[in-house]
Structure 1
Amino acid sequence: MPRSIQSNNFEKEKLPKNAPVTSEYARTIKCHRVEAYEPINWLILGCRDFFAMPIISGFYGLCFMAAAVAIVLLIQWQGTHLVIMPALIIFMLIGPFLALGLYDASWACEKGHQPSLLHSMRAIGRNSVSQWAFAVLLAVAMMFWMRIGALLHALYPSVTGAPWQDFLPFLLIGSAVGIVLATIVFAISAFSIPLMMERRVDMMTAVFTSVNAVRSNLLAMALWAAIIGLGVLIGFATFGVGMLITIPILGYGTWHAYRNVISRRHH
């Protein structure tokens, strides 16, 4: 029996035995257009799942908190901001894999199953090749971002105590480049991970589908990006403690966003 349809009933329900197998590569799965306020509903559903699954929420919250604390301590130990980007690259590598467990837990609730921590941890290996490829893609994007930042640092005033006007080129150009790169990273990652987990699609199909969905729902996704950014900011501002709450809620909310936006497979 193929691995994709073995194990327990939960797995069988996700991928029926007679489900058609497609080898189509780098396709774009259709998406729905949603109202601009829908991210508020995703956040509410994320909060509902957070309280419904305290053990799973606490476990993944602790994992993300530990990663955030490690980054903060590394910055303090090194005494320089130059380690921020390398640390964030590592965070970008492990973050998507940890989030898989949150998506799996919400999916189990959606199916009417009892979510379990062990089952959610097994989600990491459900489409490991595509997931690792995507993690490497994110890491490369972050390293490119870091290189651009190093080049822009040439615009930083070399004179100590320079007037604020001398900082404008660095701040304006740096902010513009940062917004563009952050938008690209968000667009390719908004729905890619849950899509690769649920349907086991290849990385390029997940990326194309995610970009298309974000482009088709600009207002809603801009609001969702702002909510995610605020949640991560709260997490780091509280020395990682806030991530015990914010990241699990955002993870569950991302699954509900995926279900709301990406067209479902028909059997």
Structure 2
Amino acid sequence: MASAKNKAAGKKAAAQKAPVARQAPQPLQTKRLDVADIRHAVGAGWRDFTRRPLLSGFFGLFYCLFGLAFMAGLLWFDRVWLILPLAVGFPLVAPFAAAGLYDISRRLERGEDFTWRDVFTVIWAQRNRELGWMAFVTLFVLWFWLYQARLLLAIFLQSLNFSSFDRFLDVVATTTNGWLFLGVGTLVGAFWASVLFTVTVISMPLLLDRQIDFVSAMVLSIKTVFKNPVVMIGWGLIIAALVMASMIPAFAGLIIVLPVLGHATWHLYRRA
């Protein structure tokens, strides 16, 4: 009898010590999107902006001032030929600049009461997370685009020295080589913008929202774009058109446009 009890106790102890099989984490899935999802995302983005206009507008203002400072630096150092390529490439870094806006939308979605400090604390914490690697990818693509723009200028215009930005525009607009530079440069810029949009449109908000490595996040973003090509191409064109248009009045339009697009991107991610 005692022996039977000892055996039963031994089996119980062995069962307790035996490792418990862990369930493999479920892979993240993507959903089908349609035009209605874009309308919903833009509407939700506008509502988020109107609920926290000062905090959201701050990120737009920062982006605006950064653009003005960059342009002033190019003029100061006589790098006027970089102004046009930079204007084309500027929207490439918009998703990363919107990281704070994603956090605002996330908190509003959860019904949280939060302060400016809460949002900036989350942004500061990203330096030790995977979102920092996405920042590196974004800035590398922007740098590579500017390098290619310089190469195209040397090929088509044979010069990087222009007395003023007006003179540069005159050469681009009134010469055959200028038109070739503009056409080829637009195609190259559109290519890099498409690549960066594809790998960041979902990965940026995803990395802020969940603990996942940046490569997996980029893969999921690519899958989402290829699963919903029409919707995502449309969304990318909307972002590019609105950002470019908002840059015309001395970047001032970005104060409103960038926050709304940032909030909308978060809501589109949530529906994807």
Q: Could you tell me the TM-score, scaled by structure 1's length?
A: 0.76
Question: Bigger shift: 136-145 or 193-202?
Answer: 136-145
1:74–1:83 contact (8 Å) kept in structure 2: no
Unaligned runs of 5+ in 2: 1-21, 160-169
- Structure with greater proportional helix content: 2
Question: 1:111-153 CA deviation, whole Å, 9 max, x = no partner?
Answer: 1112422111122144433111111111221222223223322
Task: Map 1:1-267; keep pairs closer than 5 Å.
Answer: 29-84=28-83, 96=95, 98-128=97-127, 129-158=129-158, 164-167=175-178, 169-261=180-272
| Percent of residue pairs bearing the same amino acid type | 26
Question: 1:235-263 CA deviation, whole Å, 9 max, x = no partner?
Answer: 321112211111110110010011011xx
Q: Could you tell me the TM-score, scaled by structure 2's length?
A: 0.75
What code does the residue aligned with 1:230 have?
A
In structure 1, the residue corresponding to 2:130 is in which secondary structure?
helix
Query: Compared with structure 1, are the counterparts of its residues 230 and 87 closer, same or farther at alpha carbon in structure 2 (3 Å cutoff)?
Result: closer
2:89–2:193 contact (8 Å) kept in structure 1: no
Question: Bigger shift: 182-191 or 225-234?
Answer: 225-234
2:42–2:260 contact (8 Å) kept in structure 1: yes
Ranges of 4+ aligned residues in structure 1 off by more than 6 Å: 86-93, 159-163
Query: Compared with structure 1, are the counterparts of its residues 241 and 173 closer, same or farther at alpha carbon in structure 2 (3 Å cutoff)?
Result: closer
CA distance in 2, matches of 1:191, 1:199: 12
Question: Bigger shift: 157-166 or 98-107?
Answer: 157-166
Query: Compared with structure 1, are the counterparts of its residues 178 and 87 closer, same or farther at alpha carbon in structure 2 (3 Å cutoff)?
Result: closer
Query: Compared with structure 1, are the counterparts of its residues 166 and 61 closer, same or farther at alpha carbon in structure 2 (3 Å cutoff)?
Result: closer
The structure with the largest alpha-carbon Rg is 2
Number of equivalenced pairs:
238
Query: Compared with structure 1, are the counterparts of its residues 158 and 198 closer, same or farther at alpha carbon in structure 2 (3 Å cutoff)?
Result: closer
